Structure 1
Amino acid sequence: MKLVKSLLLGSAAGLVAVAGASAADLGVKKPSAVEYVKTCPTYGAGFFVVPGTTSCLKLIGRVRADYIFNNDTNRQADKNTFRARGYLGYDHRTATEYGLLRTYVRAYIARDNAGAYAPVLEYAFIQFGGLTVGRVTPVFEHGWNPNFIGSGSIGGHSDISYVNSIGYTFNFGGGFSATVALDSANERRTNLVGTGYGGQALPDVVGKLAYDAAWGSVFVAGAVHQLRDGIKGAAGTFASTKYGYAGTVGAKFNIPMLAKGSNLWLNASVADGASSYTGFGATGTVGGYTVTFSDATWVAASNSLRTTRTWAITGGLQAYVTPTVWVQLAGSYAVHDAFGANNTVRASTIVGTVGWTPVAGFLIGGEVAYRSLSGRTAGVGAPLVVTNALSGNDKNDWTGRIRFQRDF
């Protein structure tokens, strides 16, 4: 019996040894430790380290629902709009010996009532040190106004929110910076009345000086815009190419003694042959009246372009009633003075906004905006076209809006 037991134990030990040798021969490795995703606090909340790299990534999303009501006198226009937008994007950053390398993308799809789905690319840019290339917020734009109407106002701040651009920012320290950029000129065109724009030959050249401090910020900016027609006149020649310009100055003052986050901002802009920079796009509609604006007017007698002069003043006060509730009152007044007699149009906007953030990243807001338009269309080479002649009568409308917005 003892002999049998010894044989069995010896056989088992042998099998274990053989199995161990076989496993070693097959090169079986122990499972590696799990690599968990790490946060990246260097760039703020929401960033995480991309596994296997030294880069950090943040996924971006937004859902916005707007309910808009107005007193439009055009029976074919909607008096209320139900709008939905869905945003997606990302922010990818890598520290390099040359400075920050950043890639940022954000786009959305919108749906208004029963209208078509509208995809929009808001931002798509690369930053490398001081260099920025791609689709960005225009250098000329200050971005201080938190109201909802945005480009729905006529005159005032810059007419566009995004532009394709290549620029470089010099940071001098102490809050001082300077930016030089080349922007897509096509996105800044309004109209050349009596003729039409030719192809883009030169980009817009934009420059900006800025100073940021604890008390607020101040900036001054300028731009040059080419006016180049693409239709020959009666003599079979093109009008001489001209260059428009625009300038702006603005200041923002923080008012912590009122409440943390409160501020007052002011901005003044002027342009000659570059109406978009003062908030005048190709057209504007107020109270069912659609007005066409211009950069210049073609004069047949001299086969030349006569530039349109514009200017605008905007400002606003934003105050926090509580840490999560803020109110703002903002307004603008702008003038569009085209070539010819009685071709001046005046536009004004007053906006009251209230916002509540019950949870971080979730905004519930309401807004009421009043807009007024006045002017005449008579005159040689008159550039203004309206659905119903203004004839000196003031035209106005109001708009109400309720917004729900979640950012993450």
Structure 2
Amino acid sequence: MQFAGLTAGRASSFFDFYAHDFEFIGATSGSDVSSTNLLAYTATVGNGLSATISMEDPSFRRSPIYSPTSAQSAAVGNTSTAIFGQSNSLIPVVLGVDANGQPTGFGFTDGIQRNRMPDFVGVLRYDQPWGSAQISAAVHELNTGNVISQGGFLGVNSAGAALNATNAVAQRTKSEYGWAVQGGVKVNAPFITPGDAFYLQGAYAEGAQMYTGNGAYPGSYAISSSSIQGASFNQNFSDATVNPLTNQLQLSKSFSVVGSFLHYWTPEWRSAVFASYGENTFGSGARAAQGAYYGFVPATGANANSTVLSSAGVGKAGTRFYALNGNLRDTYSLYAGANLIWSPVKDLDIGVEGLYAQYGVQNGRVLDTQKFNYSPAYVNAGNAVKTITSTDVFQARFRVQRDF
């Protein structure tokens, strides 16, 4: 519903600008939430300038908090093995250490986020006959649940007492606020052909990956995803990771740039070309902290009967498997495509579109798991493995669309 400057209900996010305007499927990086719950007010300043403040549903902007594994509790006297690289909604954390800095017990943080605060979006927009320009900003809350047990807390504290909800020493994960900024410009180009237009847009975010849109096409709603099913390796698009040694959030960073050009060959035939580049980077030391966690060894001596994580065969830091594991690797995404659309009558589009995508790690190499799922033990034994730095995807589409 709209009344004067008020907008309430479901509408396109006010943060968005280009929003894949010239594309079929919206593969390029960039924010594009076409329908969300919001309450916004727009003030018209004059001479084409307007300002908007909007409260928007955070569900459509949320990627999971990174959760590498859940170590299942075992019988007293045994150990449970966790591998750096598996996924679960429970995030393992250290609950206590002894005088030598070795862990005496482990627990879990519930990684499922709650809808507690809306995303707050602010926009300045300028519209003129030559085109338009926009600056957007957003604030996005990240939170987790409390430290919980799965079959009881594991281990004992430094005093030798069994860990429980009362004497576990893990600090509660503090909520953090991610944020994003975006700037874009659209230039109408009737001097080439009536209807022609250029878009150029850039975005940067910390703890708010969906606002840069790098993972929107492969799916940021999964902890790890790939640009096509069965591709060589997955990317992580988590807004944040939980440091297992401190139980605190470490925000991820991302940026994207996208450009697009629409050209009318005739009033019935038009084409668009588009491309984008983006990067996703995890917090300093985030990956190393995960590796350190999986380097801990079972407790000995007075704590010999406690159930802790085993170091046998895990992907701890310093191992070959850790070095080649694709989890929490800083990655990039490159997309480029073009389409040709025929509109024989008004509101009817018949067209084809081709897309090229490349995604890879920003440094080093990762295991190529397209045809073989390498185990940590196999890799650490020095066996021959296939590694890659990037993977390529080609796609083509045919679409018929009728608007009413």
Change (3 A) 1:386 1:130: farther
CA drift at 1:213: 0.4
Look up the match of 1:260.
Answer: 194
Which residue identity does 2:397 align to in structure 1? R
After superposition, residues 311-330 of structure 1 pair within 5 angstroms as 311-330=255-274
CA drift at 1:198: 3.0
1:407 partnered with 2:403: yes
Tell me how far apart the structure 1 counterparts of residues 62 and 50 of structure 2 sit (CA, whole Å). Answer: 28
Which residue identity does 1:262 align to in structure 2? D
TM-score using structure 1 length: 0.63
Look up the match of 1:272.
Answer: 206
CA drift at 1:353: 1.0
Specify the SS of the correspondent of 2:14.
Answer: coil
For the Cα contact (< 8 Å) 1:292–1:386, is it kept in 2?
A: no
Task: Please point out which of 134, 142, 165 is paired with 2:9.
Answer: 134
Tell me how far apart the structure 2 counterparts of residues 273 and 378 of structure 1 sit (CA, whole Å). Answer: 24
Change (3 A) 1:211 1:159: closer
Relative CO higher for 1 or 2, CA cutoff 8 Å, sep ≥ 6?
Answer: 2
Deviations 1:221-247 (A, max 9, x none): 000000111142763542111100000
Which residue identity does 2:60 align to in structure 1? E
Task: Please point out which of 106, 121, 133 is paired with 1:206.
Answer: 121
Change (3 A) 1:386 1:268: farther
Specify the SS of the correspondent of 1:276.
Answer: helix
Which residue identity does 1:276 align to in structure 2? M
Which residue identity does 2:122 align to in structure 1? G
Task: Please point out which of 282, 298, 302 is paired with 2:221.
Answer: 282
Look up the match of 1:89.
Answer: none
For the Cα contact (< 8 Å) 1:286–1:395, is it kept in 2?
A: no
Look up the match of 2:314.
Answer: none
Task: Please point out which of 236, 240, 257 is paired with 1:292.
Answer: 236
TM-score using structure 2 length: 0.64
Which runs of 5 or more structure 1 residues have no equivalent in the other structure?
A: 1-125
CA drift at 1:293: 1.3
For the Cα contact (< 8 Å) 2:364–2:389, is it kept in 1?
A: no
Task: Please point out which of 14, 32, 40 is paired with 1:167.
Answer: 40
Tell me how far apart the structure 2 counterparts of residues 128 and 391 of structure 1 sit (CA, whole Å). Answer: 57
Tell me how far apart the structure 2 counterparts of residues 247 and 223 of structure 1 sit (CA, whole Å). Answer: 7
Look up the match of 1:37.
Answer: none
For the Cα contact (< 8 Å) 2:235–2:331, is it kept in 1?
A: no
Specify the SS of the correspondent of 2:211.
Answer: helix
Tell me how far apart the structure 2 counterparts of residues 385 and 292 of structure 1 sit (CA, whole Å). Answer: 16
Off by >3 Å, runs of 4+ in structure 1:
233-237, 376-379, 384-392
- Structure of higher CA gyration radius: 1
Tell me how far apart the structure 1 counterparts of residues 198 and 117 of structure 2 sit (CA, whole Å). Answer: 37
Which residue identity does 1:202 align to in structure 2? M
Tell me how far apart the structure 1 counterparts of residues 255 and 210 of structure 2 sit (CA, whole Å). Answer: 11
Tell me how far apart the structure 1 counterparts of residues 359 and 255 of structure 2 sit (CA, whole Å). Answer: 15
Which residue identity does 1:375 align to in structure 2? V
What count of residue pairs does the alignment treat as equivalent?
Answer: 277
For the Cα contact (< 8 Å) 1:229–1:238, is it kept in 2?
A: no
After superposition, residues 186-205 of structure 1 pair within 5 angstroms as 186-194=59-67, 195=91, 196-205=111-120
Specify the SS of the correspondent of 2:144.
Answer: coil
For the Cα contact (< 8 Å) 1:376–1:391, is it kept in 2?
A: no
Which residue identity does 2:139 align to in structure 1? V
Which residue identity does 1:282 align to in structure 2? Y
Which residue identity does 1:292 align to in structure 2? N
Look up the match of 2:338.
Answer: 352
CA drift at 1:149: 1.9
Task: Please point out which of 2, 22, 25 is paired with 1:149.
Answer: 25
1:338 partnered with 2:282: yes
Look up the match of 1:244.
Answer: 178
Tell me how far apart the structure 1 counterparts of residues 341 and 269 of structure 2 sit (CA, whole Å). Answer: 6
Deviations 1:379-403 (A, max 9, x none): 9xx9x99876895421111111111
Which residue identity does 1:286 align to in structure 2? S
CA drift at 1:159: 5.1
For the Cα contact (< 8 Å) 2:258–2:276, is it kept in 1?
A: yes
CA drift at 1:139: 0.8
1:219 partnered with 2:153: no
